[in-house]
Structure 1
C-alpha cells in the first residue's frame, strides 16, 4: 500500500511508503551548540499574517483519498506517542494502554487491510514516572519506546535540582525518551541564557535517553517567542521540540507548527543536524493528523515522516484513525466504543 497527496493545480504526486518502512539514512544526534544571541536576532522577525495564510492554504491544496488515505493514516499511527497523563491514571489503565500499543488495530481490520506480515505500532507510550515500571514490563520486547514526562510537568516550576533528579530517576526506571517542560517565564522575560543552561542540564541528565523539549506554546504570547524558544532549545541539545503539554488553553496549532518547522529547518541549514518535531494537545481526529503530515512533508520533507523525527502526542487520535480505517474497508463508521483504548 502507498500513500499520495495531489495538488489540484499540478500533476505532481507525492508518494509515501506505508508505515513499517524504515528511513534509509541514519540520524546523527544533535550535540547542541553554544548560545548565539546574534543568531536569535536574525530569526526573531516572524510574520504572523503570512504564516497563518500559509498554514490555512497548505492543507486546502492537498487531497488524500481512498487507499492513499489509508496508508497515510497507518503512517500517522506509527508516529504516535500514545499518551495518558491524567490525575486518575492507574497501573491497570497504563497496562491497557500498553496492550493497545502492542495491538493497535482490531484483528479483523488487520486481516482486511492485509497487514498481517507488517508490524505497525505507535512509536512510544508516554506516561508519568510512577507508571514506568508497569509500562516497561508490559512493553518488553515490543519495540515500542517508553517516554516519561518530567521536570515538574506540566508547569516546570519545581527547583532545578528536583527537576534534574526527576529526569535521572525516570531514565533509571526504564524511560528511553524524556519529555521535559521549560519554565515559560524564562521566555516571557527573554532570559535566554538561563533557558539555555537549564535545557543543557536536562540534556546532560538524560544521558542516552532522547530529550523532547515542550515549549508550552499556548503560554508564550507570540510566534516570535515560539521561534526564539525553539532555537534556544535546539542550541542546548534538544533531540525534539514539542508544542504543548496538552494542559494549556491553546495547544498545537498549524501556524505554531509552521514556525517550529522553520526553526528546525534553519537549525539544520546552519549546523547540519536534524531535529525532531512533536505537536501535542488537541490532535484527536484523523483529518487533523493528515493536515499535520501534509505540513511536515511540505515544510521539512519526506525524511521527517519517520518516528525518529516526528511524533504526535495523542490519546484519542488512535480511536478515530481506527474508525476511519474501518470505514475504508467496510464503507461504514462504527461506534467509538468499538475502538476503545483504555
Structure 2
C-alpha cells in the first residue's frame, strides 16, 4: 500500500491563494447547463469500478481526506476526546498493520468553537489540524462584526482551519460585490489559518448560482470551497460537485492557484466516497487526491470504510456498531 501524505494544510504545500480583484465579466460569463450536468452525474456511479487491492488503496486514501466531524448541540469534551482518538487511530491497528499503513490518520477534526481547546490538546503531536465552524454557523445570520470576532476567537484558541458560511442572500440577489467583500473580510480575519467557504449549495437555487458563488469566493481568497453545512435539507450531490470542481479547474487554469474542495453532508458509505474520488481524479487529476486539496466532511463515513477494510483483510463483515466514532 502507498503511504499517505502527512502534511494536511494547503498553505504548507501549495502557494496560498491570495485572491484576485472581483472580475464581474468573468462572473457573468459563468453558466451551467443543468440537464447536461445531471446526465453526466447520473452516469458516474456505473462508469468506474474499483475492486480488491485497488478498492482498499482508494479507501485508505479516503480516510486521509476525512474531516472527522461532530457538530451537535449535545457535544461534550469527552465526546470530542473520543473523536480525536478515533482520528489518530481511524482503523484498528491490526488491520492497518496487515495493510502496511501504520500511522494513517484522518485529514482533520472539525468541531464548534467551544471544543477547539479540547481538540487541540487531544491531538497534540499528531499533526492533525483542528477545523472550527464559524461565522454564525450554520445560518450565517449573526451580526457581521460578531462573525468576524468569532473567527478571531477560534484562531486564537488554536484552530488551524476555519469553515465559514457565506450569506446566501448575496447569491440569491446577485449581489456579487457584497459576497466578495464578505469573503475577503473573512479571509483577512483568518490570518494564517486556512479558510473553507461553505456555500450551502442546497439553498442557492440553481447550479449557475453555485458556479458563480464558487468563483467569487475563490476570487476573494478562499483556500477551499465546501458544499454544505450538513444542516440543510440537501447537502453534497454529484451535480453540485461537478459544477464546483470545474470552477476550481477554471480558476487554476487562469490564476495558477489550486483551490481545495470539500463535499459535506450525506456521504456515509464507502461506495459513495469512491465515486467522489474518481470524479475528482477525472476532472482535476491526481494532485487533488491529497488531504491538502480534498476533504470529506463526514462522521459516519469512516465507520463504513473501516468495516470494508476489515472485510478486505479478514474476509468477513463485522457489525456496524463495532465501528463507533466516539
2:23 — aligned with what?
36
Q: Equivalent residue for 1:92?
A: 78
The number of aligned residues is 323
CA 1:219–1:156 in structure 2 vs 1: closer, same or farther (change >3 Å)? Answer: same
**Secondary structure at the residue paired with 1:244?**
coil
Alignment partner, residue 212 of structure 2? 228
The 3-state SS of whatever aligns with 1:142 is: coil
- TM-score after normalising by structure 2: 0.97
Structure 2 unaligned spans of 5+: none
Moved over 6 A (4+): none
Aligned match for 2:252, one of 248, 258, 268: 268
For 2:322 and 2:214, locate their aligned partners in 1 and report how far apart those are by CA, in whole Å. Answer: 39
Cα distance change of structure 1 residues 18 and 289 upon mapping to structure 2, 3 Å threshold: farther
Secondary structure, counterpart of 1:245 in structure 2: coil
Q: d(CA) in 2 for partners of 1:21 and 1:31?
A: 24
Query: Contact 1:18/1:72 (CA < 8 Å) preserved in 2?
Result: no
Q: Does 1:196 align with 2:180?
A: yes
Q: Deviations over 1:223-269 (max 9, x none)?
A: 00000000010000000000000000000000000000010011111
CA contact (8 A) 1:184 1:216 kept: yes
Helix, strand or coil at the partner of 1:213 = strand
Bigger relative contact order, structure 1 or 2, given CA contacts below 8 A and separation 6+?
A: 2
Structure 1, unaligned stretches of length 5 or more? 2-16
Deviation at 1:109, TM superposition (A): 1.2
2:167 — aligned with what?
Answer: 183
TM-score (norm 1): 0.92
1:277-292 aligned within 5 A: 277-292=261-276
C-alpha distance in 1 between matches for 2:153 and 2:176? 27
Cα separation, 1, equivalents of 2:5 and 2:47: 27
> Could you say if the C-alpha distance between residues 141 and 279 of structure 1 is closer, same or farther in structure 2, counting changes exceeding 3 Å?
same
Q: Offset at 1:72?
A: 0.3
The Cα offsets for residues 262-293 of structure 1, whole Å up to 9 and x where unpaired, read as 10011111111110000000000100100000
The partner residue of 1:295 within 254, 271, 279 is 279
Matched residue, 1:329? 313
**Structure 2 contact 3–101 (Cα < 8 Å) conserved:** no
- For residue 330 of structure 1, report the CA deviation from its aligned partner: 1.3
The whole-number CA distance in structure 1 between the counterparts of 2:43 and 2:157 is 45
Shift of 1:21: 7.5
Match of 1:252 in 2: 236
1:113: Cα distance to partner? 2.0
Looking at structure 2, the residues matched to 328 and 99 of structure 1 have their Cα atoms a distance apart, in angstroms, of 23
- Aligned pair 1:156/2:118, yes or no? no
2-side partners of 1:53 and 1:341: how far apart?
35
Pairwise CA RMSD of aligned residues? 1.3
CA distance in 2 between partners of 1:115 and 1:302 (Å): 20
